[in-house]
Amino acid sequence: MFILFTLLLFVENTQLQKIILYKYQENFKTNCTSSFVHKKDQIIFSSQIKTSADNSPGDSILVENIQYDLKRKNSVYEPFCYVFFNGCLQSSDKICYCLSTEHPDVFDIIINVTAFSHFSEAKLRGQMKYLEKIVYSEEISFPTIYDPNKTEVVLNINSKPVDTDKCAVIVNATDQVVIFFNLKHVFDIPFTLRVYDVLKEEHYESDSIFLIHVTEIETRQVYTFKYTVCNLQEYSKNFTCYIDTGRENKLHKVHTQTPDYALATSGLIISTITLLILLMQFLMRSFQKRLQKIEKDMNRRKFFSSIHKIDDESPMEGERKVYEQIPLNGI
């Protein structure tokens, strides 16, 4: 009977002296709507302690202090912040502070920490230290903390990953080119993806988690890729990619010019050649027409001259001159 009573008392006491740690508040400052952002947000946990068992004066042992420990990913628990308790009379730490409640042995403790990305998914645990024992809270996890500066880009061209810092890819001219553009680990964050075809001056945009662009490349294509996270220009980045066919690449080896200049030059050469060909065709055609006309006239003249004597002032004169003007070396 006595043993049962002691056991009951013990169970009751451990239930009464306790430290509870609540989940952080979902309060976001930035437009990254449902994610904490590195250095921009504060993460606020609240904790509650019950220091002594009420109706049992013999058990009112003083709390020495309250400590919160933090365990980063792949690490062990280390002291994070303290509240030197003393009845919650003074605030001891900027990160953790104590607030009294209506109940003399119940106190609230606020843990207010800047969201550094290295706290991402860390674990937090409270300890209430008595002279002779320690009461622990349950473990609570930090949220995932997003650092916009460390946004990772995935860019695949024809299923091959591409280095976005110096993006130059060679593909087969006849192949379809499939571009896959997306961001890594940004599940809760609003973002947009854009591809700009520099030569065609066309934009492609996606609000979904990836962007796929399928195209065929005859010589060269230049794309600018851009992403914006949390609708903030501050967090947007862009990079440019050159996609060439092997053919174009050989041309580039001959000319040691910058790619854009070489492209412009080859364009100029092609259009000049085309113009020349058109001009020559035009000249040849009009030349042939004139030849045909002269041939007809010659036949006519032969026919008439057999009948009439040709006058020097005859209308034929002009045509004869034309005939004389035609350069013979072209025939």
Ligand X SMILES: *[C@@H]1O[C@H](CO)[C@@H](O)[C@H](O)[C@H]1NC(C)=O
The CA distance from 164 to 251, in Å, is 24
CB distance 193 to 211 below 8 Å: yes
Question: 52 or 220, CB closer to ligand X?
Answer: 220
- Is residue 170 within the footprint of ligand X (CB under 6 A)? yes
Question: 238 or 271, CB closer to ligand X?
Answer: 238
CB distance 61 to 131 below 8 Å: yes
CB distance 130 to 63 below 8 Å: yes
- Is residue 249 within the footprint of ligand X (CB under 6 A)? no
Query: Which of residues 61, 106, 110, 153 is near ligand X by CB under 6 A?
Result: 110
CB distance 39 to 72 below 8 Å: no
Q: How far is the CB of 246 from ligand X (least distance, A)?
A: 7
Structure tokens at 324: 């004389």
Q: Which phi and psi (to 5°) does residue 63 adopt?
A: -80, 130
The DSSP element (H or E) to which 176 belongs, if any, is strand 176-183
Q: How far is the CB of 107 from ligand X (least distance, A)?
A: 15
Q: Which residue has the tokens 């006309």?
A: 293
Compute the Cα dihedral for 132, 137, 139, 144 and give only its sign: negative
What is the CA 168 to chain-centroid distance, rounded? Answer: 18
The DSSP element (H or E) to which 47 belongs, if any, is strand 42-50
| 121: number of Cβ within 10 Å | 11
Piece of the chain touching ligand X by CB under 6 A; list 36-44, 71-79, 116-124, 289-297: 36-44
- Is residue 30 within the footprint of ligand X (CB under 6 A)? yes
Beta bridge partners of 176: 216
Piece of the chain touching ligand X by CB under 6 A; list 3-11, 56-64, 85-93, 167-175: 167-175
- Is residue 288 within the footprint of ligand X (CB under 6 A)? no
Piece of the chain touching ligand X by CB under 6 A; list 38-46, 75-83, 134-142, 322-330: 38-46
Question: 85 or 223, CB closer to ligand X?
Answer: 223
Q: How far is the CB of 121 from ligand X (least distance, A)?
A: 19
Q: How far is the CB of 330 from ligand X (least distance, A)?
A: 46
- Is residue 238 within the footprint of ligand X (CB under 6 A)? yes
CB distance 16 to 54 below 8 Å: yes
Alpha helices in 98-174 (DSSP H): none
Question: 94 or 302, CB closer to ligand X?
Answer: 94
Binding-site size for ligand X (CB under 6 A) equals: 17
- Is residue 171 within the footprint of ligand X (CB under 6 A)? yes
Query: Which of residues 117, 206, 231, 314 is near ligand X by CB under 6 A?
Result: 231
- Is residue 31 within the footprint of ligand X (CB under 6 A)? yes
Residues that bind ligand X (CB under 6 A): 30-31, 38-39, 42, 44, 110, 112, 148-149, 170-172, 226, 231-232, 238
